[in-house]
Amino acid sequence: MSKLVHAQWSSKMTFVLAAAGSAVGLGNIWRFSYMVGDNGGAAFVLVYLACVAVVGLPVLVAEWLIGRRGQKNPINAMAELAGKNAQPKAWALVGASGVLAAFLILSFYSVIGGWSLSYTLGSVTGTFTGQDADGVGAIFEGLLGNPLLLLLWHTAFMALVVWIVARGVVKGLEGAVRTMMPALVVLMVVLVGYGMTTGHFGEALAFMFRPDWGALSGDVVLAAMGQAFFTLSLGMGIMMAYGSYLGEDVNLLGTARTVIILDTGIALLAGLAIFPIVFANGLSAGEGPGLIFVTLPLAFGNMTGGMLLGLMFFLLLTFAALTSAISLLEPVVEFVEERTPLTRVMATLVSAVAVWLLGIAALMSFNVWPEPVMFGLNVFDLLDTFTSKILLPLTGLGAIVFVAWCLDRRSVAAELNLTGGSEQVWLVVARYVAPLGVILVFVNSLLG
Ligand code: PHE
C-alpha cells in the first residue's frame, strides 16, 4: 500500500518537475530580461503578465488535456482526437507546426546555451574579477566576434544535449531538477539583494513596474505574447507530449498554476537582478540578446564570493537550458523516428546534426553574417521572431480552440473539476477571451 501511494506521488512529482524543467530555462533569464529591455520596460512586463494569466494558463491546460486524452505524440494525438470527435484530420497540422517550431527554436537556443557554458568556464578562470562595464563588454564582444569560438560552444552544448538524450539519463535529471531549481531561485534572490546595494534598485523597480503606456505598440504586445508562449514551452506540442504521461488523478488547473508561478517568479527575479546593474553602470537596457552577459558578470566580478556565485549561477543557468533543450529535441526526434526507418539513436543524431547546422547560420548573425535575410532581420532574429511571434501563438491557438470548441464541453469540465460558476469562467476564457486575445494581438500588430 505505502509503495503504491509513493509510486503515485513520485509520478505526479516527476511530471511537475519535467514540465518545470522544460519551462524554466534561458527564456526566463536571458530572453525575458532582454525582451523587457528592448520593449520599454513595465508596459511590456504588465502585458506579458496578462498574457501568461489569460492565454498561457488555458493553453497550458489545453495542451496537457489533449496529451492525456490522446496518449500519443502531438501530431497523432491531434489526428486521433479529431477523428473521434468528428473533426477534420487537418487538426494534425497543429502538432506538425509544433515540431517545426521546436526544430527552429533549438537551433538558436543552443547558441545561447553555448554562451552560458562559455561563461561558466569564464567564471572558474576568474575572467570577470574586478572588471568594469567596459571590460565585461569587451569580453562579450570578443566572444561574439569569434565565429569559431561560438561554434565550439554551440557544438559543446548540442553534444551535451545529445549525450543526455542518447544515454537515456533524462529520467535521472529529474532528481537534479529538484535540487537545482531551488538553488537557482536562491541565487536569483542573492542577485536581487546585490541589486539593492547598487543604489539603483528603485529605478529598476520603476522601469519594470511603472508603465509608460506610450511605449506600447502592436509589436510590443505581440512580443509580450510571444514571450509568454516561449517561456511556458507552449505552442509546440511539448506540453502535449508530457500530458500523455499524466495520470487521471492529476489536477490540471492546480498544476498549471504551480508551474506558471514558478516560471514567472524566476523571470521577475531575473529582471530585478539585472536592471539595477544596468542603471548603476550606465548601460543600455535595450542591449539586445547580450544583456545578461554584460550585466551579471559585473555583479559577480565586484562582490565578495562573486567568483563562486558566478560559477554557480552560470552552471545552474546552463543546467536549466539543458533541461529545456532536451524537451525541444524530443518532438523532433520522435517525428524523425516515426517517419523514417531510423532507430532511436540514429534519429537523435540526424535531428541533432540538422539543428546544429541551422545553429551555425544563427551564430554567424553575430559576426560574419549580420545582414538581414528576410523582413529586415538577420538569421538569428528571424528564427526567434518567426517562432515566438507566429508559430507558437498559432499552434497554441489551435490547441485552445480545439479543446474549447471541438471536445465535449461536459467531459472537459469534468476533467478539470469545474462546476457551476467556475465552469462558466473557464468557458468564457477558453472559448472567447484567450482565442480572441491571440487573434487581436495578431491583427493589431499587422496594422502596425
Ligand atoms: N521554455 C523554455 C525557456 O524558457 C524554452 C523552451 C521553449 C523549451 C519551448 C521548450 C519549448 O527557456
Of ligand 1's atoms, which has the minimum distance to the CA of residue 26?
12
pLDDT surpasses 70 at 9: no
Does ligand 1 come within 6 angstroms of the Cβ of 103? no
Q: What is the DSSP letter of 250?
A: -
> Contact 40/215 with Cβ under 8 angstroms?
yes
Give residue 63 CA to ligand 1 midpoint distance, Å.
15
Mean pLDDT of all residues in the chain?
Answer: 92
Mean pLDDT of 374-402: 94
Interval 343-354: pLDDT, tens: 989 999 999 999
Q: How many CB atoms lie within 10 A of CB 410?
A: 9
Does ligand 1 come within 6 angstroms of the Cβ of 327? yes
pLDDT surpasses 80 at 2: no
Residues near 142 by Cβ (< 8 Å), separated by ≥ 6?
Answer: none
Of ligand 1's atoms, which has the minimum distance to the CA of residue 327?
10
Which of the residue ranges 88-102, 116-130, 279-293 would you say has the lowest mean pLDDT? 88-102
pLDDT surpasses 70 at 247: yes
Mean pLDDT of 101-112: 97
Interval 279-329: pLDDT, tens: 999 999 999 999 999 999 999 998 889 999 999 999 999 999 999 999 999
> Contact 393/229 with Cβ under 8 angstroms?
yes
Length of the chain: 448
pLDDT surpasses 70 at 130: yes
Mean pLDDT of 356-375: 97
- % of residues, the chain, pLDDT over 90: 76
Mean pLDDT of 16-32: 95
* Cell numbers representing residue 311 in the block: 560559477
Give residue 234 CA to ligand 1 midpoint distance, Å.
8
Phi/psi-derived region of residue 11, left when phi > 0, alpha when psi is between -120 and 50, beta in every other case = alpha
Please state the φ and ψ torsions of residue 374, each to the nearest 5 degrees: -160, 145
Mean pLDDT of 221-243: 93
What whole-number distance in Å separates Cα of residue 276 and Cα of residue 203? 7
Query: What Å distances lie between residue 314 and 25, 114, 256, 287, 311, CA to CA?
Result: 12, 11, 27, 20, 5
pTM, 2 dp: 0.95
> Contact 238/261 with Cβ under 8 angstroms?
no
Which of the residue ranges 294-298, 402-406, 441-445 would you say has the lowest mean pLDDT? 441-445
Mean pLDDT of 140-169: 93
Does ligand 1 come within 6 angstroms of the Cβ of 294? no
Interval 33-73: pLDDT, tens: 999 999 999 999 999 999 999 999 999 999 999 988 887 77
Which residue's alpha carbon is at the smallest distance from atom 4 of ligand 1? 27
Does ligand 1 come within 6 angstroms of the Cβ of 233? yes
Does ligand 1 come within 6 angstroms of the Cβ of 198? no
pLDDT at 292: 97
* Cell numbers representing residue 371 in the block: 545582414
Question: Residue written as cell 533524462?
Answer: 170
